[in-house]
Structure 1
Amino acid sequence: MMAKLNFSILITTKNRKADLVITLNKIKDLHKDDTVECVVFDDGSTDGTYEFVKYNFPKVKIQRNVSSKGYMFCRNKMLNETQATYAISLDDDAHFITENPLGFINFFFDENTNCGLLALRIFWGLEEPNAIMTTEISTRVQGFVGCAHVWRMEAWQNIPNYPEWFVFYGEEDFAAYQLFKKGWEIHYLPEVLVHHRVDFKARKNNADYTIRLRRSLRSGWYLFFLFYPLQKIPRKMVYSIWIQLKLKFFKGDFKALQAICLALMDLVGSIPKIVINSNRLTQEEYEAYQKLPETKIYWQLENNQK
């Protein structure tokens, strides 16, 4: 008789074989028994990712799109297909630093039956932190970060799929609002530390800076119109645009103005989708949501650590 599948580690990748190999080597001991699986979805890579994983990591389940369909398509498909009790979504350039992370995750879910999703503690940087201890404690929060989180699959099955029309950014907040509307909680679990191997500050100088900013802005505006009480939206929109102008355009970041204009055009073009998919918070729900602690995105070394 096959053991019940407890955890599924889900990774989406595209043309990042070197990063993916590091991650798979780092987590290979986590799926050494039949209660844990690792699934990689290759979204149209042209660097040999699929063949490399298939022949060098035989315990990893590998899927692929011949041509790219987007990482939200891949995440939706993996989440909808897994038979596991819990699903860990992990970026191809992220890995666990904490030993026995699955034990901490399992225990927390067992003790907190209203928790539908766990947001993990994430350190961003090219090198691992030189200390890993923290004084933070677990707490309920508004949302989670895409690169490392854990679904209770019962909660995932209770809400709509990630919105593939967002393309990039915003899908985590979309899911967070949907969970809130359904009465599920999101908790931050600092006991589990993940290293996200990126140089976040250098992204501003990347060639895709404008398109990233455009997608980030428009996804935030999509969320306003999908979930916020109608009377809150005008002020939120004006403030959002003003902040972008003040902090970027007026300081010489002229690419920001282009991104703002393109994002506004995207917003107008997406009105039909917004009308169909809106799930607006009531005023009372909005106020309750705003009282929750904000999403824990970056963990930094604490002052008492050396």
Structure 2
Amino acid sequence: MGLNKHNFSILITTKNRCSDLIFTLNKIKYLIETEEVECVVFDDGSTDGTFEKVNKDFPGIKIFRNESSKGYLYCRNKMLNETQAEFAISLDDDAHFITQDPLNAIRKHFDENKNCGLIALRIFWGLDEPVEIISAEKSQRVKGFVGCGHVWRMSAWRDTPNYPEWFEFYGEEDFSAMQLFKRNWEVHYFPEVLINHRVNIKARKKNADYAIRLQRSLRAGWYLYFLFLPLKVIPRKMVYSIWMQLKLKVFKGDFKALKALFYALFNLIGSIPKIIKNKNRFTDKEFYEFRKLEDTRIYWQPEKK
């Protein structure tokens, strides 16, 4: 999969969500049609006709396909490692830009902030676009970023390890954010550019995959503890994490959460060899400095008037 030189590459991984993907591609078509942008879609083994549909309706898009699924992170790593663009925009297949001229703003921010390795975009989570899109927030350095809408400076990507495919899903952005910190790159929250992530958060708990999502979220957090945190703080972090799951979920009758908790612990034990191989612990000073950073901006809501 060879990619030509462009200023921007929009990278989208998808699997069996053809309608979501086509909606997104139509929304960003005006960007894809500019000369400085390439759009790459990686179909991870879909069986719903995604590959054929994109090939037919969007001839300007480069689409690649795994015959059988190799995982979300495999696809993201492959696209990032092979693009020749200066900046790579990562979008989920159910996310699109609301801001109409995002590229110039993104480029300007990178040009003015040479230590910024990654831009975390402002994200509205909802099935419909917000009525009010203006934000008074200012750009600032933060701890991490969200997968559904961010932009890599590709020299920073090449300076850090790939996303850890053994995480499967959840936690890979925090992994990369901590690696960036260790390499003296900064993550900046950039509210000037707004993304609509078309997800109903409240409905997720009722979905059939709620327990597996919780399991993977828990274990990813624990993987990160053992990979990056000073050893002396890990026991307290682990006890607090487990206690909060018991207090807020299990003791209130959420027994799917109890199952997720046990499976996550088993996953952690089974991943000890990988953790030992990939650990990159903060010094006490680094941990102190990292903790002082502003928290990751995950959700944005319009101000109520």
TM-score of the alignment, normalized to the shorter chain, above 0.5: yes
- Given the superposition, is the C-alpha separation of residues 83 and 4 from structure 1 closer, same or farther in structure 2, using an over 3 Å criterion? closer
Which residue in 2 is equivalent to 1:220?
221
Q: CA deviation at 1:4?
A: 4.9
Q: CA deviation at 1:32?
A: 1.5
Q: CA deviation at 1:303?
A: 2.6
Which residue in 1 is equivalent to 2:67?
66
Opposite residue 168 of structure 1, the aligned amino acid is F
The within-5 A match list for 1:109-258 is: 109-258=110-259
Opposite residue 261 of structure 1, the aligned amino acid is F
What is the count of residue pairs matched by the alignment? Answer: 302
Q: CA deviation at 1:252?
A: 1.0
**Helix, strand or coil at the partner of 1:295:** coil
Which residue in 2 is equivalent to 1:263?
264
Give % identity. 69
Opposite residue 60 of structure 2, the aligned amino acid is K
Aligned mates of 1:285, 1:8 — CA distance in 2 = 32
Q: CA deviation at 1:203?
A: 0.5
Q: Which runs of 4+ in 1 moved over 2 A?
A: none
Q: CA deviation at 1:33?
A: 2.6
Aligned mates of 1:39, 1:53 — CA distance in 2 = 11
Residues 70-95 of structure 1: CA distance to partner in whole angstroms, max 9, x if unpaired? 01000000000000000000000000
Q: CA deviation at 1:201?
A: 1.1
Which residue in 2 is equivalent to 1:274?
275
**Helix, strand or coil at the partner of 1:205:** coil
**Helix, strand or coil at the partner of 2:131:** coil
The within-5 A match list for 1:11-160 is: 11-160=12-161
**Helix, strand or coil at the partner of 2:240:** helix
Q: CA deviation at 1:241?
A: 0.2
Aligned mates of 1:289, 1:33 — CA distance in 2 = 38
**Helix, strand or coil at the partner of 1:90:** strand
Aligned mates of 1:230, 1:36 — CA distance in 2 = 44
Aligned mates of 1:116, 1:69 — CA distance in 2 = 27
Aligned mates of 2:6, 2:97 — CA distance in 1 = 20
**Helix, strand or coil at the partner of 2:16:** coil
Gaps of 5+ in 1: none
Aligned mates of 1:134, 1:258 — CA distance in 2 = 40
Residues 176-233 of structure 1: CA distance to partner in whole angstroms, max 9, x if unpaired? 0000000000000000000000101110000011110000000000000000000000
